[in-house]
Amino acid sequence: MFTRCTSFSAGRLTFTILLRHLSQYKKLYKMYPRKLIVTHQEKEESVGISFRYVNEDHKIDRIFNLNRGTNEQLGSVLKRINSSISKVAMKKRKKSKQEELPEIPIKLSQTLLQTVNEETTCINSLVHNGHQHSLIIGKDQYILDINPPIVQSLNLPKNIMAGFQLYPTKFDMIFGKEDDSLFTWYRSEKKYESEKDGKSNLLNIQWEKVGDAFLYNTSSEDIGKLLKLEVLPRFGERCGESAEVVADVLVSAGPGECPFERRHAFTKKMAGNKSLRVISYNILADLYADSDFSRTSLFPTIPPYALAQDYRRQLLLKEIIG
């Protein structure tokens, strides 16, 4: 038995949104590669929804993110999705001084109109049975991707020096494994005079691949260039959407020979059988180093950049590795 599509109107702009079964229409996957990312973690009472909506007629190209209650009815969720899209469409109409927005055409054969009951809960329709469903917005079909590997945060240091190992200062991921994920480092082909110079031309930068591991060993060839890290989150063979971050700073020259490098001359070989080599540090907490009082009173002879955690971390790592 077929039920009608769910239609909503915003002025003269109409969206038809329905959740339909996919089991009989697997061939459509290649025709409609769009994704609706659905996330839910155990013991949480919300479902995350994320998708990119593109409508060239209305000049919309935007990523929408929503959080809905697990027990919220599907009909309410669909209305919220419609409301979010409609708000953007209305703003675009005002900016372009367009008098009215035409209806988005809906062209679906009757055999494709089997919809999910709108009284079902969000978690049942989007999570528990989501692999059987797709979301239709206007003429666009979105395949549900439930709990794919996702990069939640990705940051690079605020200080990057040549001759030191580089890795993300912050990297958080859900539904994935770091060991399974792919890390790719790039550097700009061009050198820049300043960070502002490089960042202002970000979209036109030509990148060259320089590394494919979690750690990247910077070199003198990187000085004056921007670095970029791209992460493809994975869990086994399952891949999520790639995430990338461009460094806020250019790679700078290192401080030259460090005192600990002279000490390394005495520890070129392993400690040997039944022996241990122990190192001990009193690492200055960032709480005490990153303040006006520490810079002016506690450590007035040390340049502010040398007190920064991102600078000190690079030296400590190089000393410990040996």
pTM: 0.78
Residues 94, 107: Cα–Cα separation, whole Å = 28
Do residues 15 and 123 share a domain?
yes
**pLDDT by residue (tens digit) across 106-146?**
222 223 557 777 888 999 989 998 888 888 888 888 888 99
Structure tokens at 106: 């809906």
Looking at the domain assignment, is residue 252 inside a domain?
Answer: no
**pLDDT by residue (tens digit) across 161-183?**
999 999 999 999 999 999 999 99
Do residues 13 and 128 share a domain?
yes
Domain range for 269? 259-321
Query: Are the C-beta atoms of 261 and 320 separated by less than 8 Å?
Result: no
Structure tokens at 153: 């945060």
Query: Are the C-beta atoms of 207 and 186 separated by less than 8 Å?
Result: yes
Query: Are the C-beta atoms of 47 and 80 separated by less than 8 Å?
Result: no
Backbone phi, then psi, for 278, in 5-degree steps? -115, 135
Domain count, the chain: 3
pLDDT of residue 97: 60
Region 17-26: what's the mean pLDDT?
47
Region 28-40: what's the mean pLDDT?
66
Query: Are the C-beta atoms of 98 and 56 separated by less than 8 Å?
Result: no
Looking at the domain assignment, is residue 251 inside a domain?
Answer: no
The pLDDT mean for the chain works out to 83
Give the pLDDT band (50/70/90) at residue 1: very low
Do residues 125 and 168 share a domain?
no
Looking at the domain assignment, is residue 210 inside a domain?
Answer: yes
Last residue of a domain, one of 146, 174, 209: 146
- Is the confidence at residue 202, as pLDDT, over 90? no
Looking at the domain assignment, is residue 290 inside a domain?
Answer: yes
Question: What are the beta bridge partners of residue 207?
Answer: 188
Do residues 24 and 110 share a domain?
yes
Give the pLDDT band (50/70/90) at residue 18: low
Last residue of a domain, one of 202, 221, 246: 246
